A = this chain, B = another copy of it.
Amino acid sequence: MRRTPTIGSPELDAATGAALVFKCENLQVVGAFKARGACNAVLSLDAAQAARGVATHSSGNHGAALAYAAQRRGVPSHVVMPENSPRAKQDNVRRYGATIHFCAPNVPAREALCAEVQASTGATLIHPFDNEDVIAGQGTAALELLEAHADLDVVVTPVGGGGLLSGTAIAAHGVRAGIRVYGTEPADAGDAAAGFHAGRIMPPPTTHTIADGLRSGVSARTFAAMRQHVSDIATCSEAAIVEAMRLMWERLRIVAEPSSAVPLACLLERTLDLRGARAGVIVTGGNVDLDRLPWQQ
């Protein structure tokens, strides 16, 4: 993995009242933190399993990450993607030699096609988040963040399926028990926040949130880890995601995808109020269709 840099901006500190450092996983291999979990999972397979290949369903970044991990190990990969995935994410998966299988843009369709692909090829499913090796791998971004900034009070991530949030929270508490970890989610896909507050898993969202990486529901495994290690989960509006994304491009000068902007969106809307805190924010990915930017639509 690349040890990605952290950056900050006085303007974003002023806008949120917090002292923010952004961990740039958009600069990671494949342009997303997902490379961490996928590589850990693929490298943990035994030789016979690995030789039969790996498969997954993914809105894109985990698919690209799995393809990358499989290519590095020299084994085949199969990626089931919704047919409306951003072009940049499709290209990213093809780049690393995966076979793409397109499905309708809903969870049952993608799980069904993935099961078919596994049955016909013998490939091992590497689930995007419901997998302990994946969760452990995702947690390494927080380890690097806390090595570089040992004084952080808080770490904030987006939450979709909960792999990054679980891994981050477990890793952060392994470093120091007193660190608070928050999840952030689009209100339009607010199942994790609702479930966290109700104490039970909510059904996966049906949503067109612009944060296309966060359209999954959580699993029993990630939900349990969040309940144990996460302080709270906040939600934000779609308009705040677009504003936060643009601010990150302008003030941090990085290409961050909409899902990456959800933590800053919650801080701007004060649904997550971290005034006075030193907070690390994981910037999850930078795969965006540059022909269709949300502030131009």
Q: Across the interface, which residues of B come within 8 angstroms of A286, CB to CB?
A: 253
Pick from B2, B95, B246, B253: contact of A27, CB under 8 Å: B253
Nearest 3 pairs of A and B residues by beta carbon:
A253-B286, A5-B5, A253-B255
- The listed residue with most B CB atoms (<10 A of its CB), out of A2, A26, A290, is A290
Cβ-closest chain B residue relative to A7: B27
What is the minimal beta-carbon distance from A23 to any residue of chain B, in angstroms?
12
Query: In residues 229-244 of chain A, which contact B (Cβ within 8 Å)?
Result: none
Query: Which residues in B have their C-beta under 8 angstroms from that of A27?
Result: 5, 7, 252-254
Interface residues on A, range: 20 to 34
| A143 contacts partner chain B, Cβ-Cβ < 8 Å | no
Q: B residues within 8 A CB of A296?
A: 291, 296
Do A290 and B253 touch across chains, with their CB atoms under 8 A apart?
A: no
**A290 and B88 within 8 A (CB):** no
Q: Does A31 contact B (CB under 8 A)?
A: yes
Residues of B within 8 A of A287 (CB): 253
Interface residues of A in 261-297 (CB under 8 A from B): 286-287, 290-291, 293, 295-296
Answer whether residue A147 sits at the interface, using C-beta atoms and an 8 A cutoff.
no
Q: Does A250 contact B (CB under 8 A)?
A: yes
Say which residue of B253, B291, B295 sits within 8 Å of A26 (CB atoms). Answer: B253
- A6-35 near B? 1/0 per residue, CB < 8 Å: 010001000000000000001100010000
- B291 A11 Cβ-Cβ under 8 A: no
